[in-house]
């Protein structure tokens, strides 16, 4: 079983719709979870991170975490063509740099296309 799994897509949604991106992880000891957006040929940029079970909202983005199910998702409301990119889920064993626990494991990413 891969450490971090994502549906590779491509996921195609119309402009204005909700895009739902999913991620599962294998290490139950993981404590922090990150969603990155990566445009083609560019470096990843952080969208948001989440530590606690439940939802965390930031603008049009909502991250959802369920540690019991080892599942984290990202919802993008009112999707825009500019949201078209690859979305990477990353999992970390620690919550900060203390204790040398910081080591991100990335999924392969889901390619999202938002059609005008």
Partner 1 sequence: GAVVSQHPSRVICKSGTSVKIECRSLDFQATTMFWYRQFPKQSLMLMATSNEGSKATYEQGVEKDKFLINHASLTLSTLTVTSAHPEDSSFYICSALGDKGSGWDTEAFFGQGTRLTVV
Q: What is the binding site for partner 1 (CB under 8 A)?
A: 32, 34, 41-46, 49, 88, 95-98, 102-109
Closest approach, Cβ 61 to partner 1, in A, equals 15
54: left (phi over 0), alpha (psi -120 to 50) or beta: left
User: Which pair of tokens denotes residue 97?
Assistant: 């740099």
Nearer to partner 1, 18 or 46 (CB): 46
Helix (H) or strand (E) holding 116: none
- 49 pairs with which residues across the strands? 34
- 108 pairs with which residues across the strands? none
Nearer to partner 1, 42 or 77 (CB): 42
User: Which pair of tokens denotes residue 42?
Assistant: 């560019």
Nearer to partner 1, 35 or 76 (CB): 35
Nearer to partner 1, 5 or 17 (CB): 5
- Residue 105 and residue 102: Cα distance in Å, rounded? 10
Closest approach, Cβ 16 to partner 1, in A, equals 28
Closest approach, Cβ 15 to partner 1, in A, equals 25
Closest approach, Cβ 101 to partner 1, in A, equals 10
Cα 41 → chain centroid: 19
């Amino acid at each position: 079983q891969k450490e971090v799994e994502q549906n590779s897509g491509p996921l195609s949604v119309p402009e204005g719709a909700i895009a739902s991106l999913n991620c599962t992880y294998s290490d139950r000891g993981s404590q922090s979870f990150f969603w990155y957006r990566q445009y083609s040929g560019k470096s990843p940029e952080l969208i948001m991170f989440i530590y606690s079970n439940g939802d965390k909202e930031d603008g049009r983005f909502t991250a959802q975490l369920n540690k019991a199910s080892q599942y984290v998702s990202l919802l993008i409301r009112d999707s825009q063509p500019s949201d078209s990119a690859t979305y990477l889920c990353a999992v970390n064993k620690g919550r900060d740099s203390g204790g040398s626990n910081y080591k991100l494991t990335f999924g392969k990413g889901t390619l999202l296309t938002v059609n005008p």
